[in-house]
Structure formats: C-alpha cells, structure tokens
Structure 1
Amino acid sequence: MTTPWPQAVLFDLDGTLVDSAPDIQTALNATLASYGEPPFELEQVTAMIGRGVPTLIERAYAALGKEIDPATRDKVVERFEAIYGPQSTQRTVLNAGAVEGILALQQRGWRLGVVTNKAAAATETVLAHFGLADHMAIVVGGDAGPERKPAPGLLLLAAEKLGLAPSDIVFVGDSDNDVIAAEAAGMTAIVMRGGYSTRPVEDLGADLIADRLDALPSLIEGLARARQDGPSGEA
C-alpha cells in the first residue's frame, strides 16, 4: 500500500501564520532609539523582515547609511531580543484562516510544524499566545544550528526530527527565502499572498499560491490527487 502524501505540512511564521511586523517595528525602533537612531515606518520594517534578527539589524543600519561590524551588530541583536520578547504579541495578529486551516490540516492526519528564522523561544511564545503550540509536532527556530533560510538546513533538520523524507513534506511560506529553501530541501513549496515578500508571489516559483490559510487543505489535496494520477499539467 502506498503511503499517503504528504506526511507533514510545515509553516514559516512571520508573514505566513502571523502578521508580526507591527511588534517587530516597535522593538526595532525602541532598539534604535536607545542608540540615538531615528525610527522606521512599518512598511520599511516589513521589507527588512525575512532572514532573522541579525539580518534585520544589518538592513536597518544599511537603510540609515551606516556600517555595522559583526560584534556591534550582535550587541544590537541582544538588545532587540530583550525588548522584543516581552511585547512580541501586543500588536501581532493571526493571518486570515490560520486556526481553521491548521485544524482542518490536522484533522486530515498530517503532522504540522513551524520552521522559521526567528529564534525558537520567541516562536514558541507567539504560538502559545494564539493557542497553536499544541497543534505543532515540531518547531525549528533560526537558532537551531543550521544556516537560516534560504539555505535548506533548517527544513532538512525538521524532516530529520520528524523521521520523514523531505519529499513527503509541504512547506508553506510567504517569501523567496521560503521557496528557495523548500526547493533546495526537496519539499513542495506553497507561497501565501499578503506576506512580506518584496517581489510578486507569482514570480517566486512556488508549486502553488494560496490566498488564505484555510484554503490549504483543499489545495494540498488537489496536489495529492495530481501526484497520484501522474503528470497531467498544472494542478
């Protein structure tokens, strides 16, 4: 008997499951203010999100027209994380259809998880706040060891921890980092509209595009049927 596909559905966090940009903006601006730097607007900060806090800080300083050495960056990262942690869910909201989508995916027997460039502790805090932590079989944060997305290491680590082949996993994200990482890991990639991508989602090369998280169950079932029936054009 063939094993049903997929065996698991993994999610990016920021821009995919939640809109966390407002809290990230607040923490970034408070961090910069402590160093005498001016604040950024929400749209500017949103465009900086995607490769973890060290890159966020580097992008912020680049936007200020200033260089930052690795040692100083790491100190700024520490301050950001100290500020962000206690207020990481004050303005963050779930994206449309998140709870319904996750419950429906789980009811179909697919294991769920989160793989994000955000640190694991901050990720767990956000998931717990929205009541999603208990639905996740695995959480892999950007501090797990492997290089952050768009490198495939975090996704491959998640597959290893789940005891699954990457080809048996669907990864849902919102940016080119997510699609590149999924493809490099050998996973099917679904990209969400309305996330933090700085490019049109149609240009990212994902296997499918989803408008809402509660649309995922039917989209994935369609992919599964297409795989079962063999190559027959686009799903």
Structure 2
Amino acid sequence: MGVSFDLFGTLVTADRPDDPAAAVAAELAKRDVAIPDDWDVAYTEPHVDPPDGAEVPLPAHVSRALASRGVDYDRNAARRAVVAAFDPVVETRDGALEAVAAARERGPVAICSNCSVPELVGRTLVRSAFERDDFDAIVTSVGCGWRKPAPEIFELTADELGVSPADLIHVGDDPHTDGGIEDLSGTALLLEDVSLADVPAQLHTGEQQQS
C-alpha cells in the first residue's frame, strides 16, 4: 500500500494573492513588460484549449494572454513574474507531521498536488515543517500535465510509489478533486469526513483490514 497527500489545504496553508491578475501584472511591470489596459479581462479569458483534465501552466496562460493583446516581451518574463507573484507564507497544519509519519510506517508516501505555478510546491515544502525526504515522490499537475481528479495524475503517483492505483490511499480536502482516486478503485480519506488528527488511526485501521 502507498499513501499520497494533497498539499494545499491538507498538509499546509499557504496564502495566495487576493487579486492574482494584479499581482502578476505588478511582477510583469517590474520586468519591463507593458501591461494591457484590459489586463483584468485578458487574464480571465481562456487562451489555451487543453484536453479534458489537463493542466494549463499559469506562465503559459499569462504568455498567451499577453500575446492576445499584441504585447512583446522576453519569453522568460511570464514565468519569472508568475513565480514571484505566488510567493507564499506557509504554515504547516496541526496534525500534518503526525499524519505523514503514520503513513510512512505503512509504506511509501507521496505528495499529489494540483498546482499550476512552477516551483510553488517545492518552495512551499521548504518553508513548511517537512523535510524533503519525508516523501518518496512529489507529483504536481504542473509537472505531469494532469489535474486531479484526472486518473492520469493518480496513476503516475501510484507508479512513482511502486503500487497499483487500487492500492493507493489519497488524503485530501476536496471531494471533487481528491476523491478522484476512487474512480481507480483506490481509497480517498477526505478531511470533510475525517480530521487530520484522526488520519493516523484511519491508516492503522486500513492496515489491519488489509492484513
């Protein structure tokens, strides 16, 4: 058996800009990118038509939004602006360390996170109370190209842990996204049903049922 954890809202809280469009615009301006007069509109418009369940990296979206308004810019500026705009203060949630430690007692452990911002998951973990070697794999939607509840991201997570999707327990806070593991016959532990503090006991119960 393997266990994966959602990151944001499950293991940590991380602040995000109140106005993402404005935050990205401010960082673009610092990089000498002209901001369209209707940037608020351009930012919210769809500019990429991805397959169902696919992730659109935010820098790609920002690049297309600028191009849609005829703005010329250094192609790296969009990525650097997005990374700088999403630079969170991180707090590890009560019970998170204990939940991950309990999971490690029963098998390999992964992060499985929806995140469209490059580098954000890594920077979040560095600022949390976790160590990098607390996790055997880190799978992100921006890295693999698929967002939960797409089966592909869970299949990749299970593969990284050396287990089948049916033998993966995924802990998360969103029934829609994190509950997607159940479509692959895996198990979802949802924080609307179980508190983070109760996850160790739930994992222990599951281990007894498997033995």
Normalised TM-score (structure 2):
0.69
2:73 corresponding residue in structure 1 = none
Superposed displacement of residue 141, structure 1: 1.1
Q: Check whether the contact 2:172–2:178 (CA below 8 A) recurs between aligned residues.
A: yes
Question: Which structure 1 segments of 5+ residues have no match?
Answer: 1-6, 40-56, 62-66, 194-208, 229-235
In structure 2, distance between residues paired with 1:25 and 1:132: 29
Superposed displacement of residue 113, structure 1: 0.7
Q: 1:179 to 1:145 in 2, by over 3 A?
A: closer
Q: Check whether the contact 2:24–2:85 (CA below 8 A) recurs between aligned residues.
A: no
| Corresponding residue to 2:107 among 107, 110, 114 | 110
2:201 corresponding residue in structure 1 = 218
| Corresponding residue to 1:31 among 24, 44, 48 | 24
Superposed displacement of residue 11, structure 1: 0.8
Higher RCO, 1 vs 2 (CA within 8 Å, ≥6 residues apart):
2
2:31 corresponding residue in structure 1 = none
1:52 corresponding residue in structure 2 = none
Q: Check whether the contact 2:24–2:82 (CA below 8 A) recurs between aligned residues.
A: no
Question: Which structure 2 segments of 5+ residues have no match?
Answer: 27-34, 50-59, 67-75
1:100 corresponding residue in structure 2 = 98
Aligned residues: 181
Alignment of 1:11 onto 2:5? yes
Q: Check whether the contact 2:7–2:113 (CA below 8 A) recurs between aligned residues.
A: yes
Q: Check whether the contact 1:172–1:178 (CA below 8 A) recurs between aligned residues.
A: no
SS state at 1:19 partner:
strand
In structure 1, distance between residues paired with 2:37 and 2:90: 26
Question: Cα deviation per residue 1:123-146 (whole Å; 9 max; x = unaligned)?
Answer: 122112223322000011113335
In structure 2, distance between residues paired with 1:26 and 1:82: 18
Letter in 2 for 1:183: E
Question: Cα deviation per residue 1:82-107 (whole Å; 9 max; x = unaligned)?
Answer: 3453475542222221122222332x
2:143 corresponding residue in structure 1 = 144
Letter in 1 for 2:133: D
Residues 72-91 of structure 1 mapped to structure 2, 5 A cutoff: 73-75=61-63, 82-86=80-84, 88=86, 90-91=88-89
SS state at 2:24 partner:
helix
Q: 1:105 to 1:24 in 2, by over 3 A?
A: farther
Give the fraction of aligned pairs with identical amino acids, expressed as a percent.
Answer: 20
2:134 corresponding residue in structure 1 = 135
Letter in 2 for 1:124: G
In structure 2, distance between residues paired with 1:16 and 1:81: 26
Q: 1:90 to 1:149 in 2, by over 3 A?
A: closer
Q: Check whether the contact 2:169–2:189 (CA below 8 A) recurs between aligned residues.
A: yes
Residues 51-66 of structure 1 mapped to structure 2, 5 A cutoff: 61=44
Letter in 1 for 2:110: G
Letter in 1 for 2:48: P
